[in-house]
A and B are shown apart, each in its own frame.
Chain A
Amino acid sequence: MRLIKLVRNDVMKQKSGFLWLFILVIPLGTTAAMFLDMYIRYDYLFTMAQKRGLTSWEMLVNENHTMLQWGIFLPIFVAIISAMVHQVEFDRNSWKSLLSLPVTRTSVFISKFITIVLFSSILIVLNAIGLVVVGKVIGFPEPLSIEHYGSYIIHQFVGIFGVAALHNWMSSIFKNQAIPVVIGFIGVIFSSIILYQSFEIAKFSLYLYPFFAGGLQGFDSSVSIYGGIVCGAIITIIGNIEFTRRDIL
């Protein structure tokens, strides 16, 4: 299928390694931070968790998601991945030669979206693997709940669809990739302010769907699934209409 070939090409274009470095270094950092957190505060945190009926593993996800703010920052990482996936086409204006090949613009646009989600998923999975490693090294007393961690990964995976779609579109527009990244940053800051005001409004911000994926008490994590799918689909459809009609200059 042509779409698979395009995705493969989009991954190939990242051979320079910056993107790979990025998605390896970030989880390495989160793993180190979580290790330190558990190493220093485990006894205290575990006592607190027990009061709320949480296991060590659940407590670890909460720490990762809210104390470390992984759930808040993930959209910014997605924005940066999107910027790098698109940058290669702007460097030497490769859009014109790519789109002069026998490919539909839609398949090119969707391929970029899939590539962004793909790299972001690696980031999400590595972060989760890091948590498992931390739990094992610290020696959590409870057995690891694969189900819980699997659900954490799936909710984040679907939760980023909206951000990935929006940034896929924005990154295809701006030659200067700093612009969509800054927009993403502002979007995240704004959304997190709203988050602490009202969940009812916050659940309409696509920048928060990865946050809702955390399964935190007081937040409905299914919002990340519905929100991710609905925003991802709508924005990709609208973005694609614009992308296919655009003049490539």
Chain B
Amino acid sequence: MNQYIIETNKLSKKFGNFIAVDNINLKVPKGEIYGFLGPNGAGKSTTIRMLLGLVRPTNGNVTIFGKPMKECRLEILKKVGSMVEYPSYYGHLTAYENLDLARRILEVDQKEIDRVLEIVKLTDVKNKAVKKFSLGMKQRLGIAQALLGNPELLILDEPTNGLDPSGIHEIRDLICSLPKTQGITVFVSSHILNEIELIANHVGIMKKGKLIFQGTIDELKGKSRTEIRMDVRPAEAALKQLTTKGYTVYQKNGLLNIQDKGINPAHINRELVLNGYDVYQISSQHDTIEDIFLHLTDEKE
């Protein structure tokens, strides 16, 4: 048995010569909210389309619920709710009628429609044509459709795209409540880190088609670098001293800087003082999770 709800093996997609998704190995644990991050064009939507069988991988394969997507597509999709990029709907039909179309295919009870409308708070407008809905309402309808029939896995592609802050907040709360109340695994993509940071416990970060990080939020925070800046005199000698101790030190505006993972300012201070240097000033600064994200997605071009 497989403890991962979604697992991909060397999943790749080429459009002509352009590699949109490059050899990615996703591992999405059960019952968690997995944030799929990356700047626009990183290959998130293409990956999600492959997870749903909408796009054929050029290489590699997708396993969901421990079953191969290629062979067990129908069986898998029965237990997957999804919304890919912008919500799709039939504008001249009402919210209820839209959900009824999907409900019939999913072969679930009509009561399900009222249940999901209640969850996304669209009960009052269920008989209104969807083309008259605001973007936020359409987005919620898309999520409602994804929730039909109590799926075990929810795949949402940028569900807060184009929403105002209050709309973003609402959807975020909704997504957060799902694993707790219904035991659903949620795979949600976004190009905005702080949206994901607040809800996800696992993250995967995409950049130019590659999965450059995958792990828990805490592991991501562990990537945080500390920068220590100090005013030490004499500076030249102190620089030499620290360098021989194995630190990477550089001098800037007369101050010494050390930028590294897991360095401790107290150790460095003691080191300097015990060796007879005068430390006039020492400060340390940690990367925020935002910095880590930018650092990961920006580094090397």
A9 with B86, Cβ < 8 A, contacts A16-B92, A100-B52 known? no
Q: Are B49 and A96 in contact (CB under 8 A)?
A: yes
From A8, A15, A249, give the contact of B93 (CB < 8 A): A15
From B55, B87, B145, give the contact of A249 (CB < 8 A): B55
A86 to B49, CA, bound (A): 21
A8 to B89, CA, bound (A): 17
The residue of chain B having its C-beta at the shortest distance from the C-beta of A17 within the complex is: B92
From A9, A88, A97, A104, give the contact of B84 (CB < 8 A): A97
What 0/1 pattern do residues 85 to 120 of A give for CB contact below 8 A with B? Answer: 000100111111111111110000000000000000
Q: Are B86 and A97 in contact (CB under 8 A)?
A: no
For residue A52, CB closer than 8 A to chain B, the reply is no
| Chain B interfacial residues counted at CB < 8 A | 32
> Closest Cβ of chain A: how far from B108's Cβ, in Å?
11
> Closest Cβ of chain A: how far from B245's Cβ, in Å?
55
A212 to B142, CA, bound (A): 47
What 0/1 pattern do residues 1 to 23 of A give for CB contact below 8 A with B? Answer: 01001101100110110000000
Chain A contacts for B115, CB-based, 8 A: none
The residue of chain A having its C-beta at the shortest distance from the C-beta of B100 within the complex is: A12
For residue B257, CB closer than 8 A to chain A, the reply is no
Chain A contacts for B55, CB-based, 8 A: 247-249
Q: Are A6 and B105 in contact (CB under 8 A)?
A: yes
Chain B contacts for A94, CB-based, 8 A: 88-90
Chain B contacts for A245, CB-based, 8 A: 56
A91 to B85, CA, bound (A): 15
Residues of A within 8 A of B (CB): 2, 5-6, 8-9, 12-13, 15-16, 88, 91-104, 245, 247-249
Q: A92-B89, A249-B55 are in contact. List 6 more A-B contacts (CB 8 A).
A: A2-B105, A5-B105, A8-B104, A91-B91, A97-B145, A99-B53
The contact sample of 21 A-B pairs, CB cut-off 8 A, is A8-B104, A9-B105, A12-B101, A13-B90, A13-B93, A15-B93, A16-B92, A92-B87, A92-B89, A93-B86, A96-B49, A98-B88, A99-B53, A100-B80, A100-B84, A101-B106, A102-B74, A102-B75, A248-B55, A249-B54, A249-B55
